[in-house]
Amino acid sequence: MAKRIDVSGLSAFYGTHKAIDDISMTVEPRSVTAFIGPSGCGKSTFLRTLNRMHEVTPGGRVEGKVLLDDENLYGTGVDPVAVRRTVGMVFQRPNPFPTMSIFDNVAAGLRLNGRYKKSELTEIVEKSLQGANLWNEVKDRLNKPGSGLSGGQQQRLCIARAIAVEPQVLLMDEPCSALDPISTLAIEDLIGELKERFTIVIVTHNMQQAARVSDRTAFFNLAAVGQPGKLIEIDDTDRIFSNPSVQATEDYISGRFG
């Protein structure tokens, strides 16, 4: 059920501050697109405009269009709640519902979407946990609180929670930045499997990670502090890392930045 994302002329604001300016790009279905760029250039902000999470920040405002296949997420009459049910999100810090068990965490999104029989729930929860490579570690403790897991396990729990509702797009904002190298590898492998079913967009500060997991890479930059961030270029990951067409990209990737 993966869908194509088509962004055109998108700007986002915090109050009067413009955080990103006039971004246009296309993300193909069943691919992984990595966002890279210096801190503060608006990667997270842009990512959050793709599931209408930006506007929950007080003062948050968006101009422009985001088409999911052919539907504009910012069209009149589009319910942001419905958008977020189609476009899932994984955050930088693992955030399982602390008051819920592991099972209930994974089932949380399903319970929002409608009524399921207990047996259906059990089946989907197991499938999602397997999809997130967490099943073997938690199958004997599904009724224990999700906050009792390790950081890496919690992040995979959050991925299981996000994929349980079968979203069409999965957004990940630095999903590994709080994790050790082994958990990071586990999640990178997982991203490789998930892209068979979902359109994935991942923000990362780790160049190797971008090179390892993504098909396409987008480089963002900002002219100066206080200026809005811009999309500098987006291209096949191989090209971005071997022969980018913009000098700034090469400087950033090779560490000659700033």
Ligand X SMILES: Nc1ncnc2c1ncn2[C@@H]1O[C@H](COP(=O)(O)OP(=O)(O)OP(=O)(O)O)[C@@H](O)[C@H]1O
For other proteins, the binding residues (CB under 8 A) are 51, 53, 56, 81-86, 88-89, 91, 93, 95-101, 108-109, 112-113, 144-145, 147-148, 158, 161-162, 165
Q: What is the rounded distance in angstroms from the CA atom of residue 20 to the CA atom of residue 14?
A: 10
Q: What is the rounded distance in angstroms from the CA atom of residue 203 to the CA atom of residue 76?
A: 29
CB of 44 to Mg ion, least distance (A): 3
Q: Give the strand pairing for 32-36 and 199-203.
A: parallel
Per-residue contact flags (x/-) with ligand X for residues 41 to 60, judged by CB under 6 A:
xxxxx-----------x---
HSE-CB at 7 with a 13 A cutoff on CA atoms is: 25
In the complex with other proteins, the residue whose CB is nearer, 21 or 104, is: 104
In the complex with Mg ion, the residue whose CB is nearer, 103 or 220, is: 220
| DSSP 8-state secondary structure symbol assigned to residue 8 | E
Q: What is the rounded distance in angstroms from the CA atom of residue 207 to the CA atom of residue 136?
A: 30
Tell me the residue type at 33: T
In the complex with Mg ion, the residue whose CB is nearer, 44 or 128, is: 44
In the complex with ligand X, the residue whose CB is nearer, 43 or 195, is: 43
- Cα 54 to Cα 47, 59, 105, 193, 252: the distances in Å are 8, 9, 23, 28, 27
CB of 175 to ligand X, least distance (A): 12
Among 44, 49, 183, 214, binds Mg ion (CB under 5 A): 44
What are the residues binding ligand X (CB under 6 A)? 14, 17, 19, 39-45, 57
